């Protein structure tokens, strides 16, 4: 162990509290959600750059101005995104944007405004732009703003050159249509985004928890704020939701991550009703009569699974029971469909129906994702005890279930079990690293 590392280990526990408090106050980051190891690595790197050997001395540097705090933020916020990561939400906004323009009194001059917050390295807002262009929305009739708290991420987004890690899954047709294939060498392969997509997105630096954040900005028709609220504690989550509502147009839609849907289950907010989009809007006082429009390509409705009537029980002798051929397990397709239906119900706020579908799925074969979803439902109902038990069941079935590990860690931290929360956070981090390594290995063999 180096001298610097030894000193940091010795002083770390005394200094991590003030550093975590500064990060939380400035950007809302909850150490219980990300784990102290990530912050410690960032501190180590900054101390090395500054030549600072003493942890207390580095803390003094942090407290002397916001410049060093921003440098630390650049290291503790790790971009983890890819194109069309949230396909259902992205295709939903393309469909809704087209409908909004068509229904406008002056359709030829109507425009839609979209916010991606945080936009990270640009994959999300550029995916939205590609989806709108392919849906037939004229370039002059939509504009996307990408906002992030990291200057490095914004620089990468503006450069718009991406490697293999930004393209995941098998549906990569958009890459052929909107990117120029770059050179390949030393294990790297880059694709440059076409200018017609790039010009639809404007990037800027911003901190959503700043008191004057986009204070004079016109409201947005669609806001994407996915998979960031989970890194805040409940008080900061509510503060962030208020910011999003302030930025949203009266008839606008907010899209959040699956684990964040419970934060928008409020009396005045409702689901937009598009499965797996996790989109929400304000409830209308008077229902609007909508004109029917043909669906977009690539948007497929999830078939409804109707449970068959139970067969009457058979009376058999004990010997027959021992010799009976086991029934075939339900197919993976059916299980996936049941889980998709459950998530769609939760997205629409139909928590009881979502819970019933999860129980139906678990009855035919315990499913880690189903237990995790049940945990999210219990969490949304403020039933921490039930949520904790369900998250544990998910982890028992799938020890590397990162989302269940992080949600259980947050519950333990809220109960004062910092040591237990820390262990779970470290497991979640190892699980994420293993998944990324596996994904990179699989891509390297393609």
The residue-averaged pLDDT of 422-446 equals 73
| pLDDT range class, residue 412, cuts 50, 70, 90 | confident
Alpha-carbon torsion (359, 360, 364, 368), positive or negative: negative
Whole-angstrom distance, CA of residue 193 vs CA of residue 403: 31
Question: Quick one: which H or E segment has residue 222?
Answer: strand 220-224
CA distances from 130 to 53, 84, 201, 276, 338 (A): 48, 10, 11, 20, 30
**Exposed (0-12), middle (13-18) or buried (19+): which is 126, by Cβ within 10 Å?**
buried
Q: Where are the domains of the chain?
A: 1-74, 85-280, 331-438
Tokens of 213: 């954040």
Tell which wins on pLDDT, 21 or 330: 21
Q: What pLDDT was estimated at residue 284? A: 78
Q: Do domains 85-280 and 331-438 have the same CATH topology?
A: no
Q: What pLDDT was estimated at residue 228? A: 92
**Exposed (0-12), middle (13-18) or buried (19+): which is 370, by Cβ within 10 Å?**
buried
CA distances from 40 to 1, 59, 400, 441 (A): 15, 12, 23, 28
Pairing type for strands 279-282 and 269-271 reads antiparallel
The residue-averaged pLDDT of 146-152 equals 97
Q: What pLDDT was estimated at residue 28? A: 92
CATH of 331-438 among 1.25.40.10, 3.30.230.10, 3.30.70.270, 3.40.50.800: 1.25.40.10
Phi, psi angle pair for 112, to nearest 5°: -120, 145
DSSP 369-435: HHHHHHHHHHHHTT-HHHHHHHHHHHHHH-TT-HHHHHHHHHHHHHTT-HHHHHHHHHHHHHHHHHH
Q: What pLDDT was estimated at residue 433? A: 75
**Exposed (0-12), middle (13-18) or buried (19+): which is 432, by Cβ within 10 Å?**
middle
Q: Tally Cβ neighbours within 10 Å of residue 13.
A: 10
Q: Tally Cβ neighbours within 10 Å of residue 18.
A: 12
Q: What pLDDT was estimated at residue 206? A: 96
Cis bond before residue 221 (omega within 30° of 0):
no
Can you list the pairs that 18-27 forms with residues at least 24 positions away whose Cβ atoms lie under 8 Å? Answer: 18/59, 18/63, 19/43, 19/59, 19/62, 19/72, 22/62, 22/63, 22/69, 23/69, 23/72, 23/73, 23/76, 24/233, 24/236, 26/66, 26/69, 26/73, 26/207, 26/209, 27/73, 27/149, 27/207, 27/209
Tokens of 337: 């469909």
- Could you read off the pLDDT of 303-314 as tens digits, one per residue? 333 444 444 444
| pLDDT range class, residue 35, cuts 50, 70, 90 | confident
The residue-averaged pLDDT of 382-404 equals 87
Q: What pLDDT was estimated at residue 53? A: 83
The superfamily CATH assigns to domain 85-280 is Vaccinia Virus protein VP39 (3.40.50.150)
The residue-averaged pLDDT of 122-135 equals 97
- Could you read off the pLDDT of 50-96 as tens digits, one per residue? 998 888 888 889 988 779 999 999 999 888 899 999 899 999 999 99
Q: What pLDDT was estimated at residue 192? A: 96
Averaged confidence pLDDT in the chain: 82
Q: What pLDDT was estimated at residue 299? A: 39
Tell me the range of 144-153, 258-267, 272-281 where mean pLDDT is highest. 144-153
| pLDDT range class, residue 6, cuts 50, 70, 90 | very low
Q: What percent of the chain has pLDDT over 90?
A: 42
Q: Please give the DSSP secondary-structure letter assigned to residue 121.
A: T
| pLDDT range class, residue 283, cuts 50, 70, 90 | confident
Position 21 pLDDT exceeds 80: yes
Q: Please give the DSSP secondary-structure letter assigned to residue 84.
A: T
Place of tokens 């002397």: 64
Half-sphere exposure of 424 (CA within 13 A, CB side): 26
Position 346 pLDDT exceeds 60: yes
Give which of 351, 334, 340 is closest to 271, Cα–Cα.
Answer: 351
Position 29 pLDDT exceeds 50: yes
């Amino acid at each position: 162990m180096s001298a610097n590392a030894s000193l940091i280990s010795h002083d770390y526990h005394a200094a991590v509290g003030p550093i975590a408090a500064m990060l939380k106050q400035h950007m809302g980051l909850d150490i219980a959600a990300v784990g102290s190891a990530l912050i410690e690595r960032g501190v180590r790197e900054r101390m090395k750059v500054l030549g600072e050997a003493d942890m207390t001395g580095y803390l003094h540097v942090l407290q002397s101005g916001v410049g060093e705090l921003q440098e630390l933020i650049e290291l503790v916020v790790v971009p983890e995104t890819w194109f069309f990561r949230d396909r259902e939400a992205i295709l939903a906004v393309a469909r809704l944007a087209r409908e909004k323009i068509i229904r406008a009194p002056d359709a030829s001059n109507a425009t839609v405004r979209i916010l991606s917050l945080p936009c990270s390295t640009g994959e999300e807002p550029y995916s939205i732009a590609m989806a709108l262009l392919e849906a037939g929305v004229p370039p002059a009739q939509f504009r996307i703003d990408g906002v992030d708290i990291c200057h490095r991420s914004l620089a990468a987004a503006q450069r718009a050159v991406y490697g293999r890690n930004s393209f995941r899954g098998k549906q990569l047709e958009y890459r052929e249509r909107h990117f120029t294939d770059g050179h390949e060498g030393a294990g790297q392969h880059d694709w440059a985004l076409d200018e017609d997509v790039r010009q639809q997105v404007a990037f800027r630096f911003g901190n959503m928890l700043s008191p004057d954040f986009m204070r004079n900005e016109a409201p947005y028709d669609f806001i994407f704020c996915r998979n960031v609220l989970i890194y805040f504690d409940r008080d900061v989550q509510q503060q962030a939701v208020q910011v999003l509502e302030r930025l949203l147009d009266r008839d606008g839609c907010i899209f959040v991550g699956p684990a964040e849907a419970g934060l928008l289950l409020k009396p005045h907010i409702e689901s937009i009703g598009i499965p797996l989009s996790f989109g929400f809007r304000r409830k209308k006082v008077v229902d609007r009569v909508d004109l029917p429009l043909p669906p977009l390509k690539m948007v497929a409705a999830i078939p409804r699974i109707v449970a068959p009537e139970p067969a009457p029980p058979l009376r058999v002798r004990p010997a027959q029971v021992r010799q009976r051929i086991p029934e075939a397990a339900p197919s993976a397709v059916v299980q996936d469909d049941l889980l998709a239906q459950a998530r769609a119900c939760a997205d629409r706020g139909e928590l009881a129906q979502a819970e019933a579908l999860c129980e139906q799925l678990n009855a035919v074969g315990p499913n880690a994702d189903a237990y995790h979803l049940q945990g999210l439902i219990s969490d949304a109902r403020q039933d921490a005890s039930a949520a904790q038990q369900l998250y544990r069941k998910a982890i028992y079935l799938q020890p590397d279930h990162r989302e269940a590990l992080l949600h259980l860690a947050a519950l333990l931290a809220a109960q004062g079990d910092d040591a237990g929360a820390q262990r779970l956070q470290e497991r979640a981090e190892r699980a994420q690293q293993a998944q990324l390594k596996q994904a990179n290995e699989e891509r390297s063999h393609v």
